[in-house]
A and B are shown apart, each in its own frame.
Chain A
């Protein structure tokens, strides 16, 4: 029988005993205790959907903005806008009508006819409300006054049949000051929001009739409701109203309609881009595998050549800037080959040092592993194109874009010591969004106009992926960046 002393000795020795855990013990444990990966489809989907939504919304807003009329319009004005003729927008206080004319002295016929038609109409509400003033003018006078105001070559002055108001798109700096307007109409004409151009500039100072101030105020007050009844008309408090005598005619216009017209340009295009995949390696968590050599780290390898097809839609948002969104289908190839060891010593080499002692140099068991991968991504990208050095035939561009890529299909062939060991396909059924990735693209290109409406673009570009593609499966992550040349053919449209 064991004595208590012996038992205590046994206990002490057994408890003090230490044993090395199994070599791959932690890997197995880690694999088992790894919490199940929560599927993240909603994040990716939400990101992609948001990107798509914002892109679409932006384009829609731009289109909508450019199609929206800048200011009050009557039927006549709308008719004119349909003809894409830049027109000034004028509100006639007396007739309650708003009208447009291109420039001083160049009234188009359509406008003239429309006005005539309006003058024949009797049931305008403003007319009833301002009967007294209107009675001062005969129909003939009224007709002739309009002729004078907007007539092409010979503006004739009348006393005050028409109060021309030209409403500008820009907000004036000063508050409305009737006195100033009446007495210093020269300054008023310089205001950005309302511009009055005299028919004969020489007469401006002299021909301005300084009406009795109270009469003028009455006149304006009486017509204000009329203005407000005009569909869509809004009178900002800062707006200047210039009351001008007959010698002064309306002219000038809202905004530079040429710019509005210009910003409506958009294009649609197709892209093809051969892409070569470079990569940077990112180490993952510590494990038992030690990569001793990357065999093809620097060499160019045809197995890393891929391509991209794209469908692009762009919209001009400023004279030199285009917003572009693109759907793409991209195939990338990767070929990684490396030598590794898991730390097992094959043999010990004994070498003698200078001081006569011996040194043991371990030689580890090494293996080689090769991964040949093909990835097919579907992508959505939104970016900006900046054009510069423009000439009639060509222009250059800088492009910056970002997007999300969804892995549609992937395959990796694994070779161990030269022999095909396994072929993996992904995304896996459990996580269809596996290896979905974000990427950034920058490029600089040359654009050549062909037959006015087409444009051929040649653009070297760098596409940098923000996430690793191998990190979940391999002892390292691999961040690809592709260098390619985009060849794009665009068809330009102008609304």
Chain B
């Protein structure tokens, strides 16, 4: 379920993906050829999330990347201080396309060529989106750090 939440903007959408992915798992269980079952299931979930993204790529298409601010220095310790849930909430604030590339690259471990194939984008686009995602995330973490300290 956490996988689904990482790729969507809301729990509602995540539940849809969760449901769809699980159904796929059971319906295609006969295609599992051994190896890590968890990895196989995870791949199905990620692919389902990407399909979901393709169906709802409005945000990505409408996004004006020029408006994204450049890197902002932040407190390096903030990542180790916050919980996983808080971290995911921050990641989820990223624009849809950034979030997707960031998750696929940083969390799932795909390379840019694979990400490009999965998302039907150029490898360079994947790289640039990742870079911008990381910058955006830095800024979000910084803002979160400030607000936490203020509290």
Contact = CB atoms under 8 A, between A and B. Distances in A.
Contacts of A28: 19
Contacts of A20: 1
Given A1-B134, A1-B135, A19-B2, A14 B19 contact: no
A286 interface: no
A21 B16 CA distance: 11
A32 interface: yes
Given A6-B79, A19-B1, A29-B22, A14 B135 contact: no
26 contacts: A1-B71, A1-B131, A1-B138, A2-B134, A6-B79, A7-B106, A10-B107, A13-B83, A13-B84, A14-B2, A14-B87, A14-B88, A14-B91, A15-B107, A16-B84, A17-B84, A17-B88, A19-B2, A19-B4, A19-B5, A22-B15, A25-B15, A25-B19, A29-B26, A32-B23, A33-B26
B1 A33 contact: no
Given A10-B87, A14-B88, A21-B18, A2 B2 contact: no
B6 interface: yes
Interface string B6-28: 10000000110011001100110
Nearest to A8: B106
Task: Give 9 closest A-B pairs by Cβ, nearest first.
Answer: A19-B1, A17-B84, A13-B84, A33-B26, A19-B2, A17-B2, A2-B134, A22-B15, A29-B22
Given A16-B84, A17-B84, 18 more contacts: A1-B134, A1-B135, A1-B138, A2-B134, A2-B137, A7-B134, A9-B79, A10-B91, A10-B107, A14-B91, A17-B85, A17-B88, A18-B2, A19-B4, A21-B1, A21-B18, A25-B22, A29-B19
A452 to B, nearest CB: 70
Contacts of B79: 6, 9-10, 13
Contacts of A21: 1, 18
A11 interface: yes
Size bracket of the B interface: 20 to 34
Task: Tell me the interface secondary structure of chain B in the complex.
Answer: helix
A10 B135 contact: no
Contacts of B135: 1
B114 to A, nearest CB: 16
A2 B138 contact: yes
Contact of B23 (A9, A15, A29): A29
A18 B84 CA distance: 9
B117 interface: no
Interface of A: 1-3, 6-7, 9-11, 13-22, 25, 28-29, 32-33
B107 A25 contact: no
Nearest to A6: B79
A14 B6 contact: yes
A17 to B, nearest CB: 4
A33 B138 contact: no
A32 B20 CA distance: 10
Contacts of B83: 13
Nearest to A16: B84
B76 A11 contact: no
A175 to B, nearest CB: 70
Contacts of B80: 9
Contacts of B138: 1-2
Contacts of A19: 1-2, 4-5, 14
Contacts of B18: 21-22, 25
